[in-house]
Amino acid sequence: MLASVFSNLFLIVAQVFALYLLADFIGGIFHWAEDTLGSAEAPIWGRLFVQPNEVHHDTPGQMLKIPWYINNITIVIAVLSVFAACWVLDALTWKVYVMGFFGAWNQQVHRFCHTPTARLPPAVKWLQRIGIIQNARHHWRHHTEPHLTNYCVLTPWVNPALDKIKFWRAMEQIFVPIFGAPRRPDL
Ligand SMILES: [Zn+2]
Ligand SMILES: [Zn+2]
């Protein structure tokens, strides 16, 4: 009886952890697409996603000049849209809620990475220190030339694995012929 309680508990914890990593992975794919695919002048993709991303690369500290809720609103709307779509499809399970919850933190954790340490709440510093969320040093690798690694911003665990297996280079081989990458002369 006790053994089965523990094994069920272990299974749930393992699933929650996997969903946390998955939320980081999906956020990384979106960020890679923003950095890589299509033109900055494209009407929706370019204006809404590529251009703000380019501003962030040129002046990373700029994001702290806008309020945190403006920073987070797009991702929160995206997560709520996923919840709505899953509800329509009758697929709104606890796993969708958990992954959406973690996914919604992508941009805020990213913002913490750009916030001076002295201004971070102690709990955030602690989470960064023990490796639950990504820290500034880890994220700064993405802001270092040639900006082709470390696209995930939530955890410190997904980036090393993806960079090691050259996941992003494989993604470029698949998607650049379809969508084009005019901002990446190397492709
Ligand atoms: Zn980027
Ligand atoms: Zn950044």
Q: What is the pLDDT of residues 15-46, one digit of tens each?
A: 999 999 999 999 999 999 999 999 999 999 99
Provide the 10 A C-beta neighbour count for residue 62.
12
pLDDT given for residue 107 in this prediction:
96
Q: Is the pTM value of this prediction over 0.75?
A: yes
For the cut 90, the answer to whether the pLDDT of residue 4 exceeds it is no
As a whole number of angstroms, the distance between CA 134 and CA 141 comes to 12
* CA–centroid distance, residue 109 to ligand 2 (Å): 10
Nearest ligand to the C-alpha atom of residue 140? 2
As a whole number of angstroms, the distance between CA 71 and CA 12 comes to 31
* C-alpha dihedral, 7 to 11 to 12 to 15, nearest 10°: 170
* CA–centroid distance, residue 163 to ligand 1 (Å): 14
Condensed to tens digits (0 to 9), the pLDDT of residues 46-65 reads: 999 999 999 999 999 999 99
Nearest ligand to the C-alpha atom of residue 106? 2
Domain coordinates of the chain in residue numbers?
A: 10-179
Q: Which residues contact 59 (CB under 8 A, 6 or more apart)?
A: none
For the cut 90, the answer to whether the pLDDT of residue 6 exceeds it is no
Q: How confident is the model at residue 12 (pLDDT cuts 50, 70, 90)?
A: very high
pLDDT given for residue 7 in this prediction:
87
Question: Own/partner pairs for 63-66, CB < 8 Å, 24+ apart?
Answer: 63/110, 63/111, 63/114, 64/111, 64/114, 64/115
* CA–centroid distance, residue 50 to ligand 1 (Å): 10
* CA–centroid distance, residue 59 to ligand 2 (Å): 9
| Lookup: tokens for 119 | 């201004």
pLDDT given for residue 5 in this prediction:
84
pLDDT given for residue 1 in this prediction:
76
* CA–centroid distance, residue 33 to ligand 1 (Å): 9
Nearest ligand to the C-alpha atom of residue 64? 2
Nearest ligand to the C-alpha atom of residue 71? 2
